[in-house]
Structure 1
Amino acid sequence: MLFDVSNEQGKSLDGGYIGIQPRQDGKALVMFSGFGSHFSAPKGRAEADGGEGGSNSTLVDFEFGHKYNLTVTRDPDNPQRLKGYIQDVTDPAHPGVKQHVEDLDVDQKFVLAASNTGFVEHYGADISRSSQIAPTRGSFFAPFTTEADGTVKAGEVRSDGFYGRYKNAMIGDQEVTKVAGKGQEVYFTFQGAGYGAKA
């Protein structure tokens, strides 16, 4: 999930990313990065995707098929710090522990912007053809924010479909669940055309 930050006058200070990289051993890396010269990671790396910024990676327990909330919030005790969290909310009546996934510092006071993009991407070993893209399924849920007075405001989620160099060689489907005309969940399945075929 990408997010933007602006200064108190509304000028963009670039943005960042929080996301899950699942592994096969019951674990996942949660990546929490800020892109550009305004960001740093006090306990992480002094770069983000090879450029200016700061980035963190935190190993957490993970189960495929579970629902997780990723949270980015401004530190109430430090107006120049973002805090990242992950929480298993598969059972809303008994949510898992809200795990801190480190911090990002911004070089001035800021506000979180209202919209950006979530995405699914391949990471790890390089691929050279669509048939290497394994079957994948998942969901994105609409973002929400909790105001200082405790009021929760829900946003909406939309889908632009497939993108990237193999977008025309993908097989899959998506379904958008709407409430009062606003998208609240995008469920998707996809795989590369010819997956499983021998080269």
Structure 2
Amino acid sequence: MTAARFLVVLDADSTLIQDEVIELLAEEAGRRAEVQAATEAAMRGEVDFATSLRSRVAALTGVPTAAFERVRARVRPTPGVRALTAAVHERGGVVGVVSGGFHEILDGVAPGLGVDRWRANRLVVADGALTGEVDGEIVDAEAKASSLLAWAAELGVPSSRTVAIGDGANDLRMMDVAGLGLAFNAKPAVRAAASLVIGPQNLSEVVPLLP
């Protein structure tokens, strides 16, 4: 594999895309309001992410797998995302996404947005419906940070030439280990910890900051 010049890793929900996928899935179960409140608390860092995610996924019990296609159709790419990924590629960089969301949705969304590699959680399915459980280890803050560092090592990119972009408390470790941590559409604690805060909510604003 040819070494990349640099690596940009984004969070998915409310960063790569405008939506929180778990809320769209919860809407299919008629439980969006309670899941939305729990998601916001987790993103503010008020509760343990893994514990919160398990409880929110439990609220999805019984949602049919046919809902995946409906949710993918509703996902809205963040303004400027394609301009950012195109600029990364033009400069010899690689785009990664690491998400506390779900492969079942991200697998159908990421390629069309110019993402080269991605990691997310997987949902357990039985008899064509969600069981309310997460399959395997949860992608939490430490998993996000370790994914960025592992991808950088694979690509021959020093950590100083990595960029992490996120919005929630779950992104803070990833932003901390990256050469440049960017708060985007972010909660107050994330804005306070970031190298830079990006606004307005358009990812093309990141292009001038690329290595």
Please report the TM-score for the alignment, with normalisation by the length of structure 1.
0.28
Bigger Rg over Cα: 1
Higher helix share: 2
Q: Which has the higher contact order (CA 8 A, sep 6+)?
A: 2
Higher strand share: 1
Please report the TM-score for the alignment, with normalisation by the length of structure 2.
0.27
